[in-house]
Amino acid sequence: MSHDDASSRRLKAKLLISFRKLKLSHNNFLALMAIVVGYLTALGAWVFIQGIHTLENFSFSLIDKLPSPWLFPLVPAFGMVLCSQIIYWFAREAKGHGVPEVIYSILVQNGIMRTRVAFAKLCATILCLGTLGSAGREGPIVLIGSAIGSGLGQFLELPRNAIKVLVGCGAAAGIAATFNAPIGGVVFALEVIMHTFAPRIFTPIIISSVVSAVTFHSIAGSHYSFHFSFHYKELPIEILGFVFIGMLCGVMATFFTYSWHSMDKFFEKLTWPSYIKALIGGLLVGLVVVFYRELGGNAYGLIKTLAAGTDDYFIGTLILLLALKLLATIITISCGGSGGIFAPSLVMGAIVGALVHSIIAPFFPVSEVGVYVIVGMAAFVSGSTHGPVAVILVLCEMSNNYELMLPLMAGCIVATIIARRLSDVNIYTIKLKDRGIYLKDGHDLDILKTYHVFDLMEVKLPVVETSTPLQEAFSKLQETHHSYCLVKDEDDVVVGLISYNETISKIISKKLTLDITSVEAMHISDDFVYETDHMTIPYDKFLRTESEYLKVLNKDMIFVGLILKKDLMRSYRKALHGKSISLTQGH
């Protein structure tokens, strides 16, 4: 055993002994660890942002000293090459925007992430963004925070479920610190990363997010990415403009997702060394930024210019800026760079919002262009991520402006609906699909497709007649240990069901008595599936309804059984566990 390993074991033993002396419950211990993750992530976020700003300022000063603007592409090319080599030699999972890797670790690896990923991602992204690569900070800081949470959980040898919660804490803490958005960070972690709002994980994630935001604020001071000053006139006609922005952003965000994915696949197929691909990508991004320097880096300066309305951009210019930003971003992230898609999506959304304002302003009395810019920002990100709630909250917190909640909701909901109609995958889950994980609402549809309804349906259920007293039907349910009892009429046709749990509840609340007949107590449901359907069909129906069961019919529309929600979820979890083991061994 090396000296470092021995020191690590002694430190771990001392910490565990100290925690045991505190006699904390599991939940309180997890809350304490959430505080640690929030604090460490805030420190990492400060180092991360300061590194980007320092290198970015150096890059601009270097560019100003170059004898020719055509030498400018060498700066992002140099940064991209260094970035690609850090990723290649230290942590290849740090490539790209980072969020898919976090989701993958939650789904497949029980939250286990290599701690070196945090350091590699931090250094690689500083080099990429600091030399004006077209990407954002949110994906990397989510990965960094998640890796910190995972590393802490592994160091203390916590249960896998606890490690997954700490990964979510790190994701929330990263968003909270970087964007001054503790509420948005919580919802982002629950909606996008964890895919659940379960109460048991809510508390530690909130604690971690708040601690991170407060810690970062104490270090860096008050910071709002966008402190816009404009007035929303609340004109009824404007809702059509916000809906139009949502429609455009939904379409453009989907196009962005698939364009990036296609470009990423193209670079992966190239057999050239990683530094050659990064060099080519960096030169191409540099050529874009030669003509429009404001498109380099996170391009927040362009957003502020558009929102202020001080520069009158022609419609053609806005379309060109949108196309160039999209191109620069997909090249940066695909060729070996490291950065998120949140900031580029904000920029492209801002351009779409300004574009819509330019189109409708000559014909209608509308609010200032800044209102349309911020709605476009939120709508584009919603279309990219299919997560409108987190985006709305993050934008409100980033801008310190809650006046636009309703316009943001209009744009984001429409964009999300359009994007989901066009594609089942978003910018975060499309890479997971390549790995054999097809996520929808937090569940892997590929697993659900391996089952048919007839595989899991209940067919041997107790039966009573419509005239049977409820007391007799209830006794039969207790004797057979079934959850449901079929009610048939004199023609032997199923006309309803009696639920054991529902009956118990209504008897306790005195809404039912045992002296009524089964027909008076039964529940009638019109929701059904066919026995030959894939399990994705009942899954979708269970999501849309509160029901715990669905009727199963054959091709002749005759009742043949029930499919229970609990059976579906039990089989899903079992299959997911098997798939996780398979993917982990393959990896």
83: nearest Cα among 29, 116, 38, 124: 124
118: nearest Cα among 147, 85, 98: 147
- Is 286 part of a structural domain of the chain? yes
Say yes or no: 413 and 527 in one domain. Answer: no
pTM reported for the whole predicted model = 0.79
Contact between 79 and 289 (Cβ < 8 Å): no
Final residue of a structural domain among 157, 192, 220: 220
Torsions phi, psi of 425, nearest 5?
-115, 155
Give 133-151 pLDDT, tens digit per residue.
899 888 899 999 999 999 9
* CATH code for the domain of 493: 3.10.580.10
Contact between 339 and 129 (Cβ < 8 Å): yes
pLDDT at 477: 76
Please report where in the chains the tokens 């976090």 appear, as a residue.
102
Final residue of a structural domain among 366, 398, 427: 427
Q: What pairs with residue 452 in β-bridges?
A: 534
How far is it, in rounded angstroms, from Cα 87 to Cα 83? 6
Say yes or no: 79 and 113 in one domain. Answer: yes
Which domain does 206 fall in, by range? 3-220
Please report where in the chains the tokens 């299919």 appear, as a residue.
386
Say yes or no: 283 and 408 in one domain. Answer: yes
How far is it, in rounded angstroms, from Cα 187 to Cα 205? 9
Give 81-111 pLDDT, tens digit per residue.
999 999 888 877 777 778 888 888 887 777 8
- Is 442 part of a structural domain of the chain? no
Say yes or no: 391 and 479 in one domain. Answer: no
pLDDT at 215: 95
pLDDT at 511: 76
Final residue of a structural domain among 220, 248, 271: 220
Residue 411, SS3 per DSSP: helix
pLDDT at 51: 93
Contact between 452 and 531 (Cβ < 8 Å): yes
pLDDT at 351: 95
Say yes or no: 400 and 521 in one domain. Answer: no
Say yes or no: 409 and 451 in one domain. Answer: no
Say yes or no: 213 and 242 in one domain. Answer: no
How far is it, in rounded angstroms, from Cα 286 to Cα 284? 5
How far is it, in rounded angstroms, from Cα 109 to Cα 510? 48
pLDDT at 430: 87
- Is 511 part of a structural domain of the chain? yes
Please report where in the chains the tokens 């009956």 appear, as a residue.
503
**Sign of the alpha-carbon dihedral angle for 306, 310, 316, 320:** negative
Amino acid at 142: V
Query: Total domain count for the chain?
Result: 3
Rg for the chain (alpha carbons), in Å? 27
Where the chain has pLDDT below 70, the residues are 1-23, 222-229, 310, 436-447, 450, 543-546, 572-587
Say yes or no: 209 and 62 in one domain. Answer: yes
Say yes or no: 392 and 510 in one domain. Answer: no
* CATH code for the domain of 291: 1.10.3080.10
- Is 233 part of a structural domain of the chain? no
- Is 432 part of a structural domain of the chain? no
How far is it, in rounded angstroms, from Cα 99 to Cα 239? 33
Say yes or no: 414 and 459 in one domain. Answer: no
Say yes or no: 378 and 456 in one domain. Answer: no
Say yes or no: 104 and 152 in one domain. Answer: yes
- Is 171 part of a structural domain of the chain? yes
Give 405-438 pLDDT, tens digit per residue.
889 999 999 999 999 999 988 898 888 777 766 6
- Is 289 part of a structural domain of the chain? yes
133: nearest Cα among 31, 310, 281, 22: 281
- Is 417 part of a structural domain of the chain? yes
Distance of CA 205 to the CA centre of its chain: 15
